[in-house]
Amino acid sequence: MTQLITTEADLEDGMAALAVLDPRWLPVIARTGIPPLRRREGGFPGLAAIIVSQQLSVASARAVWARVETVLSPLTPERVLAADDESMRLSGLSRPKQRAMRAVAAAVAEGRLRFDHLEDASAEEVHYRLTAVSGIGPWTADIYLLFCLGHRDGFAPGDLAIQEAARVAFDLPARPGAAALEALAEGWRPWRGVAARLLWAYYAALKAREAVNA
């Protein structure tokens, strides 16, 4: 059965395990404390919200999401497939995001994507099934894996904030790319989901320190 991150106790278990697997985590953990769980709704609405948030600031993503929920209410695959081009435009979604949303809706309607089948799948299987849908890239799949499913071993090596946090935290000569960071994270299994949360929290701490020193 897939191990999930659902409570702060799960995070604490992961932090203790990471400190044993790689002592370089100790100063990171000392800096961040227990990171946020960041769990969110799953299923079609959860994946749709992640699509909306791609390459947007938090404030912009919230504004667009509010329009999507209003224009496409109730937000279901059937409603998205029935929406005309004007409704999709009014939702505030860019053309690529409109296509991705429709592709996911079609995959669900046709039975090619079953969210209930993802719940007990491995991290690799979830990633494969999601990225098989047109418009769903690795980052979107990783975020769904981490926060909608709460998979203990999910990770997001392509996330720029995680990459930069790893560069500083582990004193790397340059910001690692997705492949390099994924290779580094192999040593953190099966707790990569906690590692990702710690790196996001560490990045937030770095940005806060920069703001104070500015």
- Residue 69 covered by a domain: yes
- Residue 194 covered by a domain: yes
My answer on whether 49 and 63 are in the same domain is yes
- Residue 3 covered by a domain: no
**pLDDT tier at 214 (50, 70, 90 boundaries)?**
low
My answer on whether 47 and 141 are in the same domain is yes
Q: What distances in angstroms separate CA 77 from CA 44, 106, 142, 173, 189, one per listed residue? A: 7, 7, 21, 45, 35
- Residue 61 covered by a domain: yes
Structural domain of 142 = 43-148
My answer on whether 33 and 17 are in the same domain is yes
Q: For the segment 163-181, what is each residue's pLDDT rounded down to a tens digit?
A: 999 999 999 999 999 999 9
Q: Is 55 left (phi over 0), alpha (psi -120 to 50) or beta?
A: left
Contact between residue 133 and residue 113 where contact means Cβ atoms under 8 Å apart: yes
How far, in Å, CA of 121 to CA of 119, rounded?
6
My answer on whether 99 and 178 are in the same domain is no
My answer on whether 171 and 203 are in the same domain is yes
Q: Is 111 left (phi over 0), alpha (psi -120 to 50) or beta?
A: left
Please give the share of the chain, as a percent, with pLDDT higher than 90: 88
Tell me the CATH number at 12.
Answer: 1.10.1670.40
My answer on whether 59 and 119 are in the same domain is yes
Tell me the CATH number at 61.
Answer: 1.10.340.30
- Residue 196 covered by a domain: yes
The structure's pTM equals: 0.91
Residue 35's SS3 state is coil
* Residue 20 half-sphere exposure toward CB, CA atoms < 13 A: 8
Q: For the segment 126-154, what is each residue's pLDDT rounded down to a tens digit?
A: 999 999 999 999 999 999 999 999 999 99
My answer on whether 85 and 121 are in the same domain is yes
Q: For the segment 95-109, what is each residue's pLDDT rounded down to a tens digit?
A: 999 999 999 999 999
Q: What distances in angstroms separate CA 96 from CA 52, 55, 111, 168, 191, one per listed residue? A: 10, 12, 22, 33, 33
For residue 52, give every residue at least 6 positions away whose Cβ sits within 8 Å of its Cβ, in sequence order, or none. Answer: 61, 64, 65, 68, 93, 97
- Residue 51 covered by a domain: yes
